Amino acid sequence: MDDSEKFEKRIRGYVEQVRLYEDPSYQESARKTVPVEELQEKALLSLAKEGKHGPSKLEQDHAFLLQLLFWFKQSFRWVHAPPCEHCGNVTTLQEKGVSLPSELQFGASRVELYCCTSCQKVTRFPRFNNPIKLIETRRGRCGEWANCFTFYCRAFGYESRLILDLTDHVWTECFSHLLGRWMHLDPCEAVYDQPLLYEKGWNKKLNYVIAISIDGVRDVTKHYTRKWNEVLSRRNITTEEILSNMLAEITRQCRSAFTSELLSELEDRDKEEKQAREIDTHSMDDSSVSLPGRQSGDKEWRKSRLETGSDEEGSFSCSACPVRKCVDKHVTRIYSALHSILSQLLDKEFSGSTAIEVLVFIQGIVTTLKKSAFRTRRALVDSDAIGMKPLLQRLFPSLKDFLGAMSLDCSLDTDGRVDIWLASEPIYTSLALPVVLDALEEIIQDIKKCDTFGRAFLCLPRLKLNRIHSGSVLASGEELPFGIATSAFDGIRLSKWEEPSGARGCWIMYKVLDNRMEELVAYELMSANDAPERDPMDWIVEGSEDGGTSWHLLDEQTNQMFENRFQRRSFFITETGHLSNAFRFRFLTVCDIKATSKLQIGSIDLYA
């Protein structure tokens, strides 16, 4: 059998594999393993954060697919060398084994045998190909990952293809009706729509990249390269004509039972895709986006494959950020509502311990709501049963306003029972709940640190009114997709803005909504969740009266340190009387410039 025949046999084997994805009982089993409602909520949240509160079906489907990708990355396990199944210690590859009948039943024609470095016993690692088995084992390398994830995509109705890269990698493509084209998804890396990842990030020397689906096979190599002439020189398995005819014949056989209407639709799409690939071949590389080396797999294994790339931290960075709109009006409403509750506690001269008791009670309500189904959130709280009835009756107007800031409504009956329900679209509440929980946690901890509640009230950083919101943000750089510039203004502790090359200087600019002129009286910065070496140390704050053409100095800070993660620090503007419709932070250096090239900040709050 010559190389061309071996190639064809391999491709046909993958065609048989993807046919398994169409089994209705398999698909039903797959869907049962996915937290569908949780992913739907996350998808709607991702759209809401972009200002899309009434997304179309196409937008929702696209967003759900991305959440499915992120969930899969967390739920599947990469196996370089499996731990010893007898004692749990490290193993090393010994040899290839013979498949057992129970393993062959699920397509494991290959079995790797690993010897334990401690007890010397052997652990079997069968390389299963059957996707229903992979749903059970949830482990493997790129072949298992892509096989199982592509199956999941089919189970949720996405047109999907398994992508075989003959230089030893496998991933997925799904047809996005929102984008009107096939979209690259790599489940091992949780990366999407970055087809140049392998050539540009991993430094792969590509040759053949073949898409395999239920309706045929296609050579999609041109979509994954900007060095076609170099790639062409490495395509020596067969001639281009033989390859084209081979793939066309396999595709014809795959479509032999299709209706004429479906055939016509597929042929039109094939033509459009072919034209797009030709355009890709002659497109310039986008130099504003930096792509990382491979992140999945053991580091030494990645190094041995020369796939680590030049970015050791594995970041997707963008130095040509778009203007992003802040969807954070709810954050301002929540801060104001919390101020109202705490002011009332202070006016009634409650002790710090009583204030904490009230806040913990509210925290429990919010936690219950967050755990409930997002489309039908509801809570019924019996305040009398926990001794909170008298306090709640006195605070109920403020509590009602506070819940209103989360797009919730409530009623209080004479027995002290509080009924809470959704007052508008569920996603508004989903946006607000994590902000509230973070704010309550911070406030409770700050009150505990002070000897009196009055002193705590004066020290609490989140209690200033007139937080500026709903503006637009532009930055010198950002990390995609989770370290974007608007993450600094969303009120959530775990999110952050990351500037991949900001350690030696970077900037972020905030334009006020509708060009309103505001006087900045204070601002707050919060340290991010990790990596204290990336905290800002020196910075300048500037204001502009003309939307960012000219600037005047508002504040300057040097040698500032954040002692803890999620530490919020307040800074007050001493120069009064400056009205601005844009503000700019110029971060000059980070805490340890020798240890990192990045800057990160957990949050920025501006107060008028």
**Strand ranges of the sheet holding 160-165, from the earlier edge strand across to the other edge:** 191-192, 181-186, 169-176, 160-165, 209-213, 216-219
Catalytic residue among 61, 165, 186, 219: 186
Please give the full DSSP string across 221-282, using - where no structure is assigned: GGGG-S-HHHHHHT--SS-HHHHHHHHHHHHHHHTTTS-HHHHHHHHHHHHHHHHHHHHHHT
Q: Which of these, 76, 241, 231, 73, lies nearest to 166 by C-alpha position?
A: 231
Phi, psi of 376 (to 5 degrees): -130, 35
**Which of 116, 142, 318, 410 does the annotation list as catalytic?**
142
Residues making up the chain, counted from first to last: 608
Contact 562, 569 (CB under 8 A): yes
Judge whether 282 counts as a catalytic residue.
Answer: no
Burial class, 71, CB count within 10 angstroms (exposed 0-12 / middle 13-18 / buried 19+) = middle
Q: What SS3 class is residue 540?
A: strand
Helix (H) or strand (E) holding 410: strand 408-412
Q: Buried b / exposed e across 320-340, counting CB within 10 Å, b at 16+?
A: ebeebbbbbebbbbbbbbbbb
**Residue in the block written with tokens 């300057």:** 556
Asked if omega into 481 is within 30° of 0 (cis), the reply is yes
| Helix boundaries (H) for 348-388 | 352-371
* Known catalytic residue at 142: yes
Residues 210-221 as b/e (b if ≥16 CB within 10 A, e otherwise) read bbbbebbbbbbb
What's the CA gap between 578 and 543, in Å, rounded?
Answer: 8
Q: Which residues pair with 218 in a beta bridge?
A: 211
Nearest to 576 by CA among 543, 540, 538: 543
State the CB neighbour count (10 A cutoff) for residue 407.
21
The DSSP H or E segment spanning 321 is none
Q: Answer yes or no: are the C-beta atoms of 160 and 153 closer than 8 Å.
A: yes
Given CA atoms 413, 419, 423, 429 in this order, what sign does their dihedral have?
A: positive
How many angstroms separate the CA atoms of 67 and 43, rounded? 6
3-state helix, strand, coil in the chain (%, to 5): 40, 25, 35
How many whole angstroms separate alpha carbon 166 and alpha carbon 173?
16
Q: How far apart are the first and last CA of the chain?
A: 76
Q: Return all residues near 123 (Cβ < 8 A) that are at least 6 apart.
A: 82, 83, 84, 85, 86, 91, 113, 114, 115, 116
Q: Does the active-site annotation cover 174?
A: no
Helix (H) or strand (E) holding 594, with range, is: none
Catalytic residue among 169, 184, 223, 469: 169
Q: Which of 312, 313, 319 is nearest to 290 (CA)?
A: 319
Q: Could you list the active site residues?
A: 142, 169, 186
